[in-house]
DNA sequence: ATGAAAGCGCTAACAG
DNA sequence: CTGTTAGCGCTTTCAT
């Protein structure tokens, strides 16, 4: 029976048919080390190490022999020892508030895949937007001797956390707290100014904004964009129609319900975070508000699900793929000790995907 | 000027105002080691090490003194050295085909957060559903001396990859290839049988199925569930109305378009993967097929975006949160060397969330 | 081209 | 309680 058939026959069984076979390896339970290989071959550890590292100072034939023996014995190098001795580092730390967020999972995906090519591994850490957790996560990452760090900082990063980062190579991602000379960000302010202008151009006068708290760098910038454009238009952002909240679906849902249940309703709603958008869109649907006839709606985030909403949602879409590519590029050069990294703090443009959730306001509400 | 104000004043500037301050730390660029602290305090490295590890065999007052000195000097332990010497392992490997998939990002999130509490760090690796990448990723994880491994295996895991896993503690997640006696899976077959029954009960006779390739364990199971129920009903699954594809949005979109462009159209479409569902739902909208009047639609995945679709999508929802919790629980016990882990291979129930995308077939197409 | 020996930073074993 | 010594598994001088 070939292994393919054997596989096909058993692979979906719930019973653990392999347990006995797996549990009894031919060689010792303790992993085989270089010294073991050296003894078995009657060589010195130095020679074996060199052969395994493809050093050219080992006779080709012997090197091949050593490698095939290592393979046969199931030798797997201990990177901890290797790193310790050779002072090389193979880890990259990736610290984000929340990996379920597409901005971060796309970046993590790109980084992990790409860095693996050059022998690096990604250590994932989640801050949950909590400065305390952020501190301990960063400490742990530094303890793991990371070669570089990708960080989306929390709103209230503590001074001691900043101190911790002294001497580390960090690149900021998606958010900034002025930690590094490298950052990959989105041109949030411009994007939200454009979205606001889009609504103004359609004739909206009463525009509500639900966004993230001002202390997050991108929350700050998005709000600034909305404010700026509204100020230009001479309207200004009505505090009563502004909600600044933590970026969660629940907060989006609840604040949208609250905002839209009042006696007067804005003619347009602009939402400044993907999680908040998810919640707000759900609230709008649940409340039976007809979009765009009764109200225009602009959301933020991945544009895919905006297509599925009825009618298609006008969406501010951050260039997640490009941002991921860019941060991967920077961190890979950084850990390679590359001198002239040709990027500093970059802001990539967001796109305003206009769909059918935005339209001219109904006449009776056009005035405010 | 206190640091808070200093922060607030500069934090959003794009110019790198901190670079000089950050680049010139007070102490040496080389990180401070235990031996440095020991010299500075006139103590032995052993005592310092013990104090730093909160061993109770150091006089409390002295220990406190050592710790505060370490803190002052910005000491950060080198975990590589610590692990090497003490034979403890602090890493957990997490290997998935794709971290953008919610099933995996939710699990990664839960694991990283929870394991961090007990001092573990998650190394993230992406296989991209490629058996070669899977092999090298697993090798790298083992080289990093992981204490445990969470794996969603590819469809065609190679025998040498299986051999590599010998002696490692692994728990399978979401997919299985019979690697371990621990697995956290979804009861896929039952879920899809139920979804199929739901359609049959509504009176559908011509049901199309778009799912993932049969060699993936969950693709296999979902298909089996559909087949079983259709066989029970005496209908059987029409090969012409069955598409088995890799789990990508693009494949879902294209296959749905192809399937639904034919001369005769099924009265119901069942989609067996979240990415495929995304694509299929988009295709259905684009083609202007009216759901559920012209066709019923059942999708798979996160139920959130199904709420936003018009009309609400009937969705097979895997219990991602529960699965994440469960796998986290298992792996944490596993790496702690906990003996009697009270779970083996568990299958959690999926839920069929019935919304408005499924209804009785229009009379003219009820017959097939 | 190969081997002997030192040592990365840390903790564990053994003294005292 | 504290110090001395050894050594985790590996790479890297420095010899030969």
- The pLDDT assigned to A364 comes to 54
Closest residue, chain B, to A30 (C-alpha): B167
Are A78 and B84 inside 8 Å of each other by CB? yes
**Taking 70 as the threshold, does the pLDDT of residue A135 lie above it?**
yes
Q: Sort out which chain B residues have CB atoms less than 8 A from A91's CB and list them.
A: 123
Residue A326 CA, distance from chain mean position: 12
Beta strand residue intervals within chain B, DSSP E = 91-96, 121-126, 148-151, 170-173, 182-186, 207-212, 242-245, 268-272, 296-300, 314-317, 345-348, 351-353
Kindly tell me the burial class for residue B337, based on how many C-beta atoms sit within 10 Å of its own C-beta (0-12, 13-18, 19 or more): exposed
Stated length of chain B: 368
Among A156, A163, A226, CA closest to A191: A226
- The pLDDT assigned to B307 comes to 83
Residue with tokens 């900082």, as numbered in its chain: A153
Best of A20, A29, A73, A121 to disrupt the B interface (most B CBs within 10 Å) is A121
Q: Do A188-318+351-367 and A88-186+321-348 fall under one CATH topology? A: yes
User: CA–CA separation, A191 vs B265, rounded Å?
Assistant: 42
Name which of A145, A180, A217 is nearest B12 (Cβ-Cβ): A217
More confident residue, A339 or A245: A245
Distance from CA of A102 to the nearest CA of B (A): 7
Neighbours of B35 (CB within 10 A): 12
**Taking 50 as the threshold, does the pLDDT of residue A11 lie above it?**
no
Asked if B353 and B323 touch (Cβ cutoff 8 Å), the reply is: no
Residue B77 CA, distance from chain mean position: 30
A52 CB contacts (<8 Å, ≥6 apart)? A34, A66, A67, A70, A75, A77
Q: Which bases of chain D come closer than 7 Å to a protein CB?
A: 1-13
A162 CB contacts (<8 Å, ≥6 apart)? A179
Best of B80, B123, B129 to disrupt the A interface (most A CBs within 10 Å) is B80
User: CA–CA separation, A4 vs A168, rounded Å?
Assistant: 48
For the domain made up of B4-77, the CATH class stated in words is: mainly alpha
Asked if B101 and B152 touch (Cβ cutoff 8 Å), the reply is: no
Among B6, B43, B8, CA closest to B21: B6
Q: Give the mean pLDDT per block of 10 residues along chain B (368 residues).
A: 31 35 49 96 97 94 96 97 97 97 96 97 97 98 98 95 95 96 96 98 96 91 97 92 93 97 94 94 94 96 83 93 97 89 91 96 58
Give me the CA B44–C1' C15 separation in Å, rounded.
14
Tokens of B214: 């049969």
Helix (H, G, I), strand (E, B) or coil at A242: strand
* HSE value, Cβ hemisphere, 13 Å, CA-based, for B334: 28
Mean pLDDT of chain A: 90
Its CATH architecture, for the domain A188-318+351-367, is 3-Layer(aba) Sandwich (3.40)
Neighbours of A174 (CB within 10 A): 26
Are A143 and B105 inside 8 Å of each other by CB? no
Give me the CA B46–C1' C14 separation in Å, rounded.
13
Helix (H, G, I), strand (E, B) or coil at A304: helix
Q: pLDDT tens, B155-167?
A: 999 999 999 999 9
Report CA-CA distances (Å) from A353 to A191, A271, B50: 11, 14, 59
Give me the CA B62–C1' D2 separation in Å, rounded.
11
Closest residue, chain A, to B83 (C-alpha): A80
- The pLDDT assigned to B262 comes to 86
Helix (H, G, I), strand (E, B) or coil at A80: helix
Tokens of B250: 């693009």
Q: pLDDT tens, A41-93?
A: 999 999 999 999 999 999 999 999 999 999 999 999 999 999 999 999 999 99
Closest residue, chain A, to B346 (C-alpha): A14
Element (H, E) at A268: strand A268-272
Among A109, A19, A68, CA closest to B182: A19
Pairing assessment for the beta strands A170-173 and A182-186 based on DSSP bridges: parallel
Q: How many CB pairs under 8 A join A and B?
A: 213
User: CA–CA separation, B215 vs B192, rounded Å?
Assistant: 17
Distance from CA of A17 to the nearest CA of B (A): 8
Neighbours of A367 (CB within 10 A): 10
Q: What is the CATH number of domain B88-186+321-348?
A: 3.40.50.2300
Tokens of A180: 């590094």
Q: Sort out which chain A residues have CB atoms less than 8 A from B76's CB and list them.
A: 139, 142-143, 164
Which residues have Cβ atoms closer than 7 angstroms to strand C? A 42-47, 50, 57-59, 62-63, 81, 84-85, 87; B 30, 33-35, 45-46, 49, 52-53, 77-78, 81-82, 84-86
Residue with tokens 């009825």, as numbered in its chain: A310
Q: How many helices (H) and strands (E) does chain A have?
A: 16, 12
Are A123 and B124 inside 8 Å of each other by CB? yes
Among B205, B239, B209, CA closest to B223: B209
- The pLDDT assigned to A337 comes to 86
Are A99 and B112 inside 8 Å of each other by CB? yes
A360 CB contacts (<8 Å, ≥6 apart)? A202, A203, A366
Global pTM value = 0.90
* A331: confidence class by pLDDT, cuts 50, 70, 90: very high
Q: pLDDT tens, A230-282?
A: 999 998 999 999 999 998 999 999 999 999 998 899 999 999 999 999 999 99
Nearest protein residue to nucleotide C2 (CA to C1' distance) is: A47
Asked if A143 and B77 touch (Cβ cutoff 8 Å), the reply is: yes
User: CA–CA separation, A95 vs A99, rounded Å?
Assistant: 9
Give me the CA A81–C1' D7 separation in Å, rounded.
12
Asked if B182 and B345 touch (Cβ cutoff 8 Å), the reply is: yes
Among B208, B110, B119, B188, CA closest to B150: B110
Distance from CA of A362 to the nearest CA of B (A): 23
Q: Sort out which chain B residues have CB atoms less than 8 A from A17's CB and list them.
A: 178
User: CA–CA separation, B29 vs B31, rounded Å?
Assistant: 6
Which residues are registered as beta bridge partners of A299?
Answer: A315
Sequence ranges of the domains in chain B: 4-77, 88-186+321-348, 188-318+351-367
Are A310 and B310 inside 8 Å of each other by CB? yes
Asked if B27 and B74 touch (Cβ cutoff 8 Å), the reply is: yes
Kindly tell me the burial class for residue B339, based on how many C-beta atoms sit within 10 Å of its own C-beta (0-12, 13-18, 19 or more): exposed
Q: Which bases of chain C come closer than 7 Å to a protein CB?
A: 1-13
Torsion of CA B98, B99, B102, B108, to 10 degrees: 130
- The pLDDT assigned to A13 comes to 37
Q: SS3 for B112-153, per residue?
A: HHHHHHCCCEEEEEECCCCHHHHHHHHHHHHHCCCCEEEECC
Are A124 and B124 inside 8 Å of each other by CB? yes
């Amino acid at each position: 029976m070939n292994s393919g058939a054997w596989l096909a026959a058993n692979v979906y069984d719930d019973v653990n048919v392999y347990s006995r076979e797996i549990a009894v390896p031919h060689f010792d339970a303790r992993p085989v080390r270089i010294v073991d290989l050296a003894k078995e071959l009657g060589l010195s550890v130095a020679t074996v190490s060199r052969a395994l590292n493809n050093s050219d100072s080992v006779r080709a034939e012997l090197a091949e022999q050593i490698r095939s023996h290592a393979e046969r014995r199931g030798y797997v190098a201990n990177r901890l020892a290797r790193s310790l001795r050779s002072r090389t580092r193979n880890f990259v730390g990736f610290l984000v508030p929340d990996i379920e967020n597409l901005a971060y999972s796309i970046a993590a995906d790109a980084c992990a895949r790409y860095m693996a090519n050059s022998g690096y591994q990604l250590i994932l850490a989640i801050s949950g937007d909590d400065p305390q957790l952020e501190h301990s996560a960063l400490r742990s990452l530094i303890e793991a001797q990371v070669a570089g760090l990708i960080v989306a900082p929390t709103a209230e990063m503590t001074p001691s956390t900043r101190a911790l980062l002294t001497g580390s190579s960090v690149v900021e991602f998606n958010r900034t707290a002025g930690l590094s000379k490298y950052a990959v960000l989105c041109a949030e302010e411009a994007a939200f100014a454009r979205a606001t202008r889009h609504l103004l151009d359609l004739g909206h006068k009463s525009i509500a904004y639900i966004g993230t708290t001002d202390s997050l760098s991108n929350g700050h910038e998005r709000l600034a964009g909305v404010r700026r454009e509204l100020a230009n238009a001479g309207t200004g952002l009505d505090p009563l129609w502004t909600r600044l909240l933590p970026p969660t679906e629940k907060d989006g849902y609840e604040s949208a319900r609250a905002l839209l249940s009042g006696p007067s309703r804005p003619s347009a709603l602009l939402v400044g975070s993907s999680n908040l958008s998810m919640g707000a869109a759900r609230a709008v649907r649940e409340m039976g508000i007809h979009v765009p006839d009764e109200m225009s709606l602009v959301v933020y985030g991945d544009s895919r699900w905006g297509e599925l909403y009825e009618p298609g949602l006008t969406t501010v879409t951050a260039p997640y793929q490009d941002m991921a590519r860019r941060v991967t590029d920077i961190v890979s050069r950084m850990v390679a000790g590359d001198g002239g990294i040709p990027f500093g703090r970059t802001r990539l443009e967001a796109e305003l995907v206009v769909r059918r959730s935005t339209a001219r306001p109904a006449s009776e509400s056009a005035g405010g």
